[in-house]
Amino acid sequence: MSSPIPTQLRHIFTTGLAMFSMFFGAGNVVFPLIVGQMAGDQAWVAIIGLLITAVGVPFLGLLAMVLYEGDYHAFFARIGRIPGFLVTLFIMILIGPFGATPRCIAFAYSTLKMYDATLSTVLFSFISCIVIYLATYKKSRITDLLGTVLSPLLVLSLVVIIIKGILCHPTSPHSAFDAAEMFKFGLLEGYNTMDLLGTFFFSGVIIAGLRQIGGEINSDKRLLARYALQASIIGATLLGLVYAGFVLVASYYGSALATVPAEVLLGTIAHMVLGQIGGIFVSLAVVLACLTTALALAAVFAEFLHNQLFFKVVCYRSSLVLTLLTTFIFANLKFTEIVAMLIPILIVIYPVLLVLTIMNILHKLYGVSMVKTPVVLATIASIIWYHVPEVLAHIGVAI
């Protein structure tokens, strides 16, 4: 008779892999590469900063959502019903048609443009949105199939780049920045992954995976949180290793990548490390993976519009069309322009959401009821901290 322990371990390990898959998107690879491009011989300091915000913070958010059983309504309602709804809507907009979704399409376009300089942004964005609509206007197994096939291929190809890039590499150039500056750069660049925002809405899949263990876990929230912590260690370790590997590889090739635009860093490094054929293979895998991520995000946002904003008065297909029209407009911006548009928002909102996450964890575990005051103070402090360099620079010019 088989012991229940192997079954528990199997589910925990499977959930850890699912966490890695949920957080690891093709577009996210570019941000560790940007950090490595700048880091030079300060790579390890930059890695620490990146891992805090790109790995640690999202997994902390996941643990909080486990305690709330994946109910983001209850999670955000702690700051008030209306403020909670507005924050939810704002985050949905960021990971939907005004942010992460068009960013995926723009990144896919930039990768393909390396092979065809005449490729039209408008045409590619239009075709991408049509493909997304056809794949998501009704439930289909094609999305799951793409994810199941593409994720392993993409991860395998990226791991090959990391291993070969680390084993055979030039000497890292001397960084133009000191350790403190590179730590801060890595920390802020981690915000661009936007994984904390996605955590609040995709955690239900992870919780469903953990509940398959059965037994007391379905009634004991602390046991559920413990298993989630164990699975998180697996997912966070894998994600951290991939991110750290790409920072290191990019730092080794920092001199050759100095003038390479952010959106083509991955394709360029793939060519350098794997050669032309390998580079083309990785680039195609990245394009398909980006579009797969985009269609998942578009479907989530359209469902949110249909249920939460339009109260099912407007049908799902019409909500999806509206989502894709907005996505199409923003996808015609350059990848770097979309990133630049999101940076100030993410720098301000991330610390606020982190404070809310911590207060909600304390509420569930220790009954701490305070939440609105810390969130308001965090918002004020975050806005002031973002504008301080601007103000100081203005004063310096005036003087």
| Residues near 368 by beta carbon (within 8 Å), at least 6 away in sequence | 359, 362
Place of tokens 């990971």: 95
User: What's the confidence (pLDDT) of residue 144?
Assistant: 58
168 or 330, greater pLDDT: 330
Using a 10 angstrom Cβ sphere, with 0-12 exposed, 13-18 middle and 19 or more buried, the burial of residue 19 is buried
User: What's the confidence (pLDDT) of residue 161?
Assistant: 87
Strand, helix or coil at 311? coil
Q: Which CATH class is domain 4-335?
A: mainly alpha
Q: How far apart are CA 28 and CA 104, in angstroms?
A: 9
User: What DSSP string describes 61-118?
Assistant: HHHHHHHTTT-HHHHHHTT-HHHHHHHHHHHHHHHTTTTHHHHHHHHHHHHHHTT-TT
Q: What is the percent of the chain where pLDDT is above 90? A: 41
CB 177 within 8 A of CB 42: yes
Handedness of CA 54, 57, 61, 64 (dihedral sign): positive
* Residue 130 vs residues 134, 147, 197, 345, 392: alpha-carbon distances, Å: 6, 19, 26, 29, 47
Handedness of CA 35, 119, 116, 109 (dihedral sign): positive
Q: How far apart are CA 230 and CA 213, in angstroms?
A: 13
- What is the number of other CB atoms lying within 10 angstroms of the CB of residue 83? 15
Q: How far apart are CA 225 and CA 227, in angstroms?
A: 6
* Helix H or strand E encompassing 372: helix 372-398
Q: What angle do CA 358, 363, 367 make, to 5 degrees?
A: 145
Place of tokens 């577009």: 27
| Residues near 155 by beta carbon (within 8 Å), at least 6 away in sequence | 24, 242
Does 151 have pLDDT greater than 90?
no
Q: How far apart are CA 281 and CA 392, in angstroms?
A: 48
Tell me how far the alpha carbon of residue 322 is from its chain's centroid: 23
CB 356 within 8 A of CB 79: yes
Place of tokens 């697996």: 234
- Domain boundaries of the chain, sorted by first residue: 4-335
Does 109 have pLDDT greater than 50?
yes
Q: What stretches of 212-264 show up as alpha helix (H) in DSSP?
A: 221-252, 254-257
Give the pLDDT band (50/70/90) at residue 272.
confident
User: What's the confidence (pLDDT) of residue 115?
Assistant: 87
- The model's pLDDT over 183-210, given as tens digits with 9 standing for 90+, comes to 999 999 999 999 899 888 877 777 777 7
Q: How far apart are CA 108 and CA 100, in angstroms?
A: 12
- The model's pLDDT over 14-61, given as tens digits with 9 standing for 90+, comes to 778 777 877 777 668 889 999 999 988 899 999 999 999 999 999 899
Give the pLDDT band (50/70/90) at residue 399.
very low
Give the pLDDT band (50/70/90) at residue 288.
confident
User: What's the confidence (pLDDT) of residue 171?
Assistant: 79
- Among 144-153, 255-264, 268-277, 306-315, the range scoring the smallest mean pLDDT is 144-153
Q: Which of 61, 55, 51, 58 minimizes the C-alpha distance to 187? A: 51
Q: How far apart are CA 310 and CA 319, in angstroms?
A: 9
147 or 218, greater pLDDT: 218
* Helix H or strand E encompassing 170: none
Does 141 have pLDDT greater than 70?
no
User: What's the confidence (pLDDT) of residue 287?
Assistant: 85
Tell me how far the alpha carbon of residue 282 is from its chain's centroid: 20
Output the six-digit token pair for 49.
């900063």
Q: How far apart are CA 37 and CA 24, in angstroms?
A: 20
Strand, helix or coil at 1? coil
